[in-house]
């Protein structure tokens, strides 16, 4: 009698798409200081309230909000390049570390075959520097930066691009974010969201925590299953 061997169906891939600043690490003080320096050179006095309101958005979005839609692209690049160069200098000279619970979850998700990507409004040079300083480059199979998309958060483009890079459908992706614009972008991309409270006092995510240490061991699996 002929027998037919059945092999189990391959598991549908799943992914976690990480924001960077305020989610993986807290480097807000370096962003605050470098933005203050860059804008002071343009005779603009930045307040902490204004900084908090735009933190996590693309530089071109920030500068047009501050100086108007007609602010020239060349000037945006000049000021942005100075700001980001100072940020990287401050970060290398100072000290940065992963936020509580992040290292554990990066390694746990990696061991459980979740695909992971960074989907950030930061420039690639910043991300490369941070991955090296923190020693977490091997956790990620893809990186999507401000240079890879035309529209910043809350537009979902950065998360959709990251999902495409790791080869996972949006419905099988979970976004980890600390900013309202990022949470909205994840939701508009059709993804589940985890919000980490940092610079922003409230987030409308599927799960909201003060740190990733608060998440139970089954949090990502349960969220993807609709729990």
Tally the residues of the chain.
227
CB of 140 closer than 8 Å to CB of 157: no
Please report which residue ranges of the chain form alpha helices under DSSP H.
28-40, 48-54, 59-67, 73-93, 102-111, 124-134, 157-166, 180-188, 219-224
Which pLDDT belongs to residue 82?
A: 95
Annotated active-site residue in 21, 69, 132, 178: 21
CB atoms under 10 Å from CB of 222, counted, come to 13
Question: By C-alpha distance, which of 52, 69, 51 is closest to 60?
Answer: 69
Indicate if 19 belongs to the active site. Answer: yes
Global confidence as pTM: 0.81
Which pLDDT belongs to residue 227? Answer: 60
Q: Does domain 15-26+97-224 have CATH number 2.70.98.10?
A: no
Report DSSP letters for 149-197, one per residue.
-SS-TTSTHHHHHHHHHHT--GGGEEEEESSHHHHHHHHHTT-EEEEE-
**What pLDDT tens digit does each residue of the chain (227 aa) get?**
454 555 444 578 999 999 998 899 988 889 899 999 999 999 999 999 998 888 778 889 899 999 999 999 999 999 999 999 998 888 888 778 899 999 999 999 999 999 999 999 888 998 998 898 899 999 999 999 988 999 989 999 999 999 999 999 999 999 999 989 999 999 999 999 999 997 677 789 999 999 999 999 999 999 999 86
The tokens describing 174, both together, are: 């979970």
One of 19, 26, 138, 178 is an active-site residue; which one? 19
Q: What is the pLDDT of residue 8?
A: 43
Of 100, 52, 35, 48, residue with least CA distance to 201: 52
pLDDT of residue 106: 98
21 labelled catalytic: yes
Helix (H, G, I), strand (E, B) or coil at 111: helix
- For the stretch 34-38, contacts whose Cβ atoms lie closer than 8 Å and that sit 24 or more positions apart, written own/partner, are 34/83, 34/84, 34/86, 34/87, 34/90, 35/83, 37/82, 37/83, 37/86, 38/79, 38/80, 38/82, 38/83, 38/86
């Amino acid at each position: 009698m002929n027998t037919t061997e059945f092999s189990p169906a391959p598991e549908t891939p799943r992914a976690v798409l990480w924001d960077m600043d305020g989610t993986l690490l807290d480097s807000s003080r370096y962003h605050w200081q470098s933005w203050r320096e860059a804008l002071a050179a343009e005779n603009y006095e930045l307040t902490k309230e204004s900084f908090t309101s735009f933190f996590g958005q693309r530089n071109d979005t920030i500068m047009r909000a501050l100086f108007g839609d007609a602010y020239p692209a060349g000037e945006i690049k000049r000021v942005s390049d100075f700001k980001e160069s100072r940020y990287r200098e401050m970060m290398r000279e100072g000290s940065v570390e992963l936020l509580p619970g992040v290292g554990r979850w990066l390694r746990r998700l990696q061991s459980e075959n979740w695909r992971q990507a960074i989907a950030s409004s930061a420039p690639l040079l910043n991300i490369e520097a941070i991955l090296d300083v923190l020693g977490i480059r091997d956790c990620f199979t893809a990186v999507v930066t401000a240079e890879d998309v035309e529209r910043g958060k809350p537009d979902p483009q950065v998360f959709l691009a990251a999902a495409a890079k790791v080869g996972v459908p949006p419905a099988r992706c979970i976004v980890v974010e600390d900013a309202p614009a990022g949470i909205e972008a994840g939701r508009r991309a059709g993804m589940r969201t985890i919000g980490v409270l940092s610079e922003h006092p409230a987030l409308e995510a599927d799960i909201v925590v003060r740190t990733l240490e608060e998440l139970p061991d089954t949090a990502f699996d349960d969220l993807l299953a609709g729990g």
